[in-house]
Amino acid sequence: MKFIVSSTQLLKQLQILVGVINANNTLPILDNFLFEIEDNNLKISASDLETTMSSALEVEADSNGIIAIPAKLLLDTLKTFPEQPLTFTVEENNTIEISSNSGKYALAYASGEEFPAAVTLDSPSTTMIKGSVLSVAISKTIFASGNDDLRPVMSGVFFQFTPENLTFVATDAHKLVKYVRNDIQADEVAEFIMPKKPLNLLKNILSDSESDVKIEYNESNAKFTFENIELICRLIDGKYPNYEAVIPKDNPNKLTLDRKLFLNSVRRVSIFSSKSTHQIRLKMAGTEIKISAEDIDFSNKADERLHCSYEGDDMQIGFNSRFLLEMLNNLDSEEIQLEMSLPNRAGILTPVDGLDEGEQITMLVMPVMIGN
């Protein structure tokens, strides 16, 4: 078997796929890229058993075949080449020879038959979504998902598709983000939990993509197809918590203020907070908010005052500054609104502006109890 391919085109595809490969694989075959040639079409795949991603490109080939090539060795070699055609020739002695304009390089390959086959989805449901929209939905939610192995359902992002809208939710029990697109619908109701790793891969590849992504899913797997790329992953098994039940519905106290001013103020004041709780305190009265923090162990304290628009009773509430900062950093709006009911109930953070039509973001942050 022999084929000719552009060095930069091949490198571009491999750099997308290499994100799937784990640093420590239980099966040595997973340290390889799978190359499958059929009728001058090269399909390259990478897998970690849970997630398999493949891409396709046209090559000049003299025959069909399938082999597994060591990923790191191949990538390191390709990174050094300027744009040129490379000839790959499979030799009898279990090596593959790469010929460039300047030399020849031989590396051992493994049998492609050993590579785990990608899952096929039986009678899946299908939804179409623009790549850039999916990337934003992932970016806006994934940071709020948990890392607790004992609660795997919270370690992913919950996809909820209905004929009215698409909803994406992530929570770690301290913070929650719900991202809704009312301008995109699914044909039927579906719910599944996507793991973090494939979502991060999709987010990076699709960040500027205008292409449509076809999402197919069943009880146990999901498949994302766009341009020349296909990603199949196993879904997280389990029932997602009833997130609607924890979002307080009646929040009479409404604070509106400049996001950047608030973000910088919280960032500064939190430096003086306790290193174990990261607690800051917000005190709202009239048109002013006082933001303060104290670390009693080291006699460190800070407080700042900001002008704001506030409707409701004077109140004081405590938050973990790290969660608040993550949320404020993840919004793009000029102004934000924080809605609250009581000091022991969650606060709801929403952007006042900067949203596309049909886009809704709700962020929920749990309070921390403040001593007097």
Q: What is the pLDDT of residue 372?
A: 54
Q: Which domain holds residue 190?
A: 125-244
Q: What is the CATH number of the domain that holds 305?
A: 3.10.150.10
pLDDT in tens, 250-300: 999 999 999 999 999 999 999 999 999 999 999 999 999 999 999 999 999
Strands (E) across 131-220 are located at: 157-161, 166-171, 175-181, 190-194, 212-217
Same domain, 140 and 240: yes
pLDDT tens digit string along 239-262?
A: 999 999 999 999 999 999 999 999
- Sheet holding 157-161: strands in order across? 190-194, 157-161, 166-171, 175-181, 359-365, 347-351, 335-340, 253-258, 309-311
> pTM, whole model, 2 decimals?
0.93
Q: Are 234 and 264 members of one domain?
A: no
Tokens of 229: 């790329």
129 and 234 fall within a common domain = yes
* Mean pLDDT confidence for 111-133: 93
Residue 143, domain member (yes or no):
yes
236 and 278 fall within a common domain? no
pLDDT in tens, 26-44: 899 999 999 999 999 999 9
Summarize the confidence of residues 158-165 as an average pLDDT: 96
Choose one of 82, 114, 146: the last residue of a domain.
Answer: 114
25 exposure class (CB count in 10 Å sphere: 0-12, 13-18, 19+): middle
Tell how strand 279-285 and strand 288-295 pair up: antiparallel
Query: In whole numbers, what is the pLDDT of the chain averaged over residues?
Result: 95
Is 120 part of a structural domain of the chain? Answer: no
Q: How far apart are CA 77 and CA 74, in angstroms?
A: 5
Domain count, the chain: 3
Q: Residue 244's closest CA among 149, 313, 338, 180?
A: 180
Torsion on CA atoms 56, 62, 64, 70, rounded to nearest 10:
-60
Are residues 71 and 133 located together in one domain of the fold?
no
- The number of beta carbons lying within 10 Å of the beta carbon of residue 37 is 21
- Mean pLDDT value across residues 53-79: 96
Tell me, yes or no, whether 119 lies in a domain. no
CA separation for the pair 62, 118 (Å, rounded): 26
